[in-house]
Amino acid sequence: MRCGRALCPACGGAAGVGRRACGEACARVLDQHDQAFALLTRQTQQTAQASAVFSGLCSLLSLAGAAGAWFYLPVPFLVWFCAGCGLVFMATAIWQARIARRQAGPASGGR
């Protein structure tokens, strides 16, 4: 929510980091928007990390299923299907982990 007024440097006050607002109410709203954006960014990063862990676990289970099928029920389709799913889940886990690191940014050790 903004008032929509254009401000010159002489009549506008600073709101947050280098932002200008027409008054205290607009400055508070700008700060609330910044906090909400930061919260959404953190939650998105946590979701990407959780998805990477889940995909990694699915990869391990699928590869273990392929190994088990190789020894206990040697049906080629089942073995190859489980192994293929395991590899796809592994690629997905790596991809999601890279996304989570990229979202962390340079300040958190990402990139």
Q: What residues does each domain of the chain span?
A: 13-108
* CA–CA dist 32, 75 (Å, integer): 59
DSSP type of residue 12: P
The strand pairing partners of 20, in sequence order, are: 14
pLDDT of residue 11 exceeding 60, the answer is no
Confidence of residue 17 (pLDDT cuts 50, 70, 90): low
pTM of the model: 0.66
Place of tokens 């009549």: 11
At 63-96, the pLDDT tens digits run: 999 999 999 988 899 999 999 999 999 999 999 9
- Check residue 77 and give its pLDDT: 92
DSSP type of residue 23: S
Identity of residue 80 = W
At 31-68, the pLDDT tens digits run: 888 899 889 988 988 998 999 999 999 999 999 999 99
